[in-house]
Amino acid sequence: MITLHASPDLEVSLGNRKGLSMKVHQAEPPFKKIKTSYLLLRPEDEFLHVRLGEKLRANNSYTITISFRGKLGTDRGFYKYHYRVNGTLRHLLLTFFEPTYARRAFPCFDEPGYKAIFSVTIVRPKGYTALSTMPVKKEEERPHGLVAVTFHDTMPMSTYTLAFAILNFTAQTKGNITIWSLEERTPYLQYALDVAPMLVKFYEDLLGTPYPLPKIDMISLPSFLADAMENWGLLTFHEQCLLYDRRTTPFKKPLIVGLVAHEIAHQVWNAGASYGILK
């Protein structure tokens, strides 16, 4: 038996019904296929049980391949985020996986004590930007005005710290740090962009080790579930926590520094941290 986490909103199947399938193979030669008897998705505890037709061998590696369908959420998991520009309704796609909402996006071992290397490919429309934990590795054009964006593999990490987004925001960059926001907000995010590299340097000097990720993207959102979320390499913020105008909000400087420092600290310490099973 293999037990994963999966939301009832995900549609999975053993066969090729509507293009859905699940296969288990040995990860090394001869890549033997392991028979699967049935699937059981328990909505009450969000467990996906995979009954195998034979026993797995100790000290062997196996690959589980799952084709599935899911629904975009409204505020957690992988969801559609709505906002307005000059009265026009627009949207972007975003993730919020803490503490156990990655299972709404894909079947997984959704506990922080389990670490995995994630290989992410996102298919986006032209004119939009795809972001994830790691930098872009390559882009390939697809039919119907789509682009497949493949990111570099992550280091081993917990599912709740993974993130991805598809958006049409304006970017400001300083070194390896980029802030994404509505265009009219860009003048008021310069202070946050200035202090972020200094905070990274502070932690590197304090700990005597380089920052563990190759980049930081920071998304400034008109509204958000929290002040911020410490997704690895892709921080998300409520814009009111980052916006600064020296004429009207001079008091916000220490608040901005404190919050950005807090989220960057999560990036540094989470790289070496492990947590157990969530109760």
Q: DSSP alpha helices (H): ranges in the chain?
A: 190-207, 253-270
Where do we find the tokens 């995900």? 10
Q: Active-site positions?
A: 263
- As a whole number of angstroms, the distance between CA 198 and CA 212 comes to 16
> Does the annotation place 262 within a ligand binding site?
yes
Map residue 196 onto helix, strand or coil.
Answer: helix
User: 153 with 159: CB under 8 angstroms?
Assistant: no
Residue 263 token pair: 């989220």
Rg value, the chain, Cα: 21
Distance in angstroms (rounded) separating the CA atoms of residues 180 and 200: 18
- Please tell me whether 82 is known to bind a ligand: no
| Beta-strand runs (E) in 97-232 | 121-125, 129-132, 136-142, 146-151, 164-167, 170-174, 177-181, 216-221, 228-229
Q: Which residues line the annotated binding site?
A: 262, 266
Q: Which residues line the annotated binding site for Zn(2+)?
A: 262, 266
